[in-house]
Structure 1
Amino acid sequence: MMALLTIVRKLLGETRGSLLISTLGFFGLALLWNWGMSEFQFPSASEVEADTSVAADVEGTEDTEREEPRRERRRGRAGPQIYVFFGVPAEQMLGIAPSETPTLAMQVAIANHPLVFLALLGWAISRASAAVAGEVERGTLDLTLSRPIRRSTFLTAQILATVLVFALLGLAITAGHLVSSRLIFRLNGTPAPVEYLPMIGSLIALGMAVFGYTLTVSSGSLSRARAGIIGLAITLTGIAGIIFARQYEEYDWVANLSVFEFYAPVANTLDPTREQWMDLATLGGVFAVGAIVSFIIFLRRDLPSNSG
């Protein structure tokens, strides 16, 4: 156990700079997200007056509908459509008074933001490709395994360190939401900390699924770059599969081949049905299969020199 914890501390220490930047970035992004929510839910009096003035100017014309997006852009705040785009159910956003829109759903929708998404995938692929292939390439695996440390312990430490990274990133977003809701911005409601757990679980599940299949490649590779490229290729193929399946109904089954089909942080938070739990279990299963295959490959493979 001591050896496991020592390796975990070493791995987290090696990436502390990048991890700190990512954590602060996620926290800051959550603050900006809540600022936009506050502006949407409770616009200032001057903005309301400007809307009323513009609406009066265009009343009775055919350009009224086109003026609404312009007013939203001028005010610098997102309309309800942007939250629907990020996963909030349309029936909870469209046709609802802004001050009555669901704060929790709008907050956890940040988990679908491209910056969060890309950072999550970047950490997963980077950590997995460095776990074995990167250690072999740098020659540090030989030194580590020359000590009384089993290969299984080493690989378990890599997995545990990655789980902690994703948990920390999820907690950073949650902290940003909690600080915003309680201390900084006026929002429609203040969700309890426990209500963000499904979002954190979704982030960890997706990250570990991507980590799992990339780790499989890394466990048998000698090059971190090669493992990373293959992991990235699998990830991009999954994203392309989702886009393709959305365009052609007869190919809906293609979406089920991608891990991203089972990533639904908003639905997991608002409606934790059996189907939603199965989606999380599927992501966990992808990771579990990848981890098992990785252990088999890593425990049986020949390593450079006499390290293993």
Structure 2
Amino acid sequence: MKTIWAIPLLIGVFVLIPNVHAETLVQNLEGGMDIEITHPDEIVLGREGIISILVKNNGWEEKQDISFQFLVSEIPGLGVDPKNVRIDKLAEGGSYGENVNLKITNDASPGIHFLNIKYSQVLVSNNETPQKPFFHDIAIPIIIKEDPNVKIHTKTPESIFANAEFPIDVEVISEDIDITNVKIKIIPPKDIEFRGETLHSFSKIQKNTPIGITSRIITPTEEVNTEYKIPFEIIVQYTDDVGEQKEDSQTVSIVLRPRTFMELTTDGGIWIGDFFIAPYVSLGTIIGIPAGTILSLLVRRRTSPKKRSRKKKV
């Protein structure tokens, strides 16, 4: 039994849940009683979670005998501690919060389940006369997952062409657990090279903290006559929170196509036919990659004698 008066500082203590993937259920009940129940929307087999309960008496009358009863028998494999939360009395403007621990056993059934809660309270009319108990049913949806989620997001150009470089970005995020001994591999198809590493290692990736890597695809110099798809495989190997070795993978396909007459490159350069204008050169300086000729110098050499001869005649 607990008697809680107006203690606003408790609000920030009990509503925080370490699981980022959480939902808050708000109930506005009789007599100005507001209830916030923050719960994980997903729990993995063999793992634990937390439900945070916050009760606020925003009415002008006192409430007593407030209770939350968790009906855990309806979900085999779910453990709740404590199974009952009781508050003796809550005065006008008072609040109370408590954390309830959840645990899912390895033999629980994956899928969507509803954790039912029986809520009850007694309103004290005019702060003098207790009324009949008020009852309310609350259902919390919880998804039990068989394995933790480690997601791979890969960003590439829609298409690429020969004799150029293109970026490939990979982001890995573990949604449910911290993972360790992480290795991220990029396996390119034949004849495709990379500028940068194709194997990246991390000692630890924290839950819901994305890790990104960037490499550059170097395409073959030989032109292609038709377009076709080439696969890139992304493999993530790691150790989960219970010491098991896991692997996730993703395959992305990029279209390798013939180069058109004018192509913009990702670094700001431009191909015009067989000539490439580098993004870092000044105006009037055009570099032709195949011939290795600086065109602007040739133009200047051809035009310079004419300019001098005109000046002499004048």
TM-score (normalizing by structure 1) = 0.26
Larger Cα-atom Rg = 2
TM-score (normalizing by structure 2) = 0.26
Tell me which of the two structures has the higher relative contact order, counting C-alpha pairs closer than 8 angstroms and 6 or more residues apart: 1
- Indicate the structure with greater strand content: 2
- Indicate the structure with greater helix content: 1
